[in-house]
Amino acid sequence: MSGDEHISSDDPGLDPYEINFLPQFRTGRGPRTPFVNSSGIVIGDHQYESEDSPLTNWTEETDPAIMAGDEWIHPYKDIGFLTSENRDYFEKGIMPKEGLFMHADKNSAYGAGDDA
């Protein structure tokens, strides 16, 4: 599925990865244009195969923390904003439901440590 299905009713001036943020979510977000992070990688240009990106050069020795933090996510142009949960929150102000990924009827720790 391409991102185009998600933007059919949106402002045509938006980037394909942008959504119509409510006013309270626009203030202090950061730049709308692509930027270069501290690792020298351009964020927000949708060129995910950057030659110097740790993701492109991943090995067993790569520490995943190298790509953690806000400097790896564009404040307006991130594919994650297109999920229904994020659109509900950022465009409509609908808080996410608690326990969305929980299995209240499953005890995944049952028996843990029994053989310790």
pLDDT tens digits along 40-74 = 888 888 777 778 888 888 899 988 888 888 898 89
With a cut of 50, say whether residue 12 has pLDDT above it. Answer: yes
The pLDDT of residue 104: 62
Share of the chain above pLDDT 70, in %: 73
The pLDDT of residue 50: 79
What integer best gives the mean pLDDT of the chain? 80
27 residue type, one letter: T
b/e for 62-84, b at 16 or more Cβ within 10 A? eeeeebeeeebbbbbbbeebbee
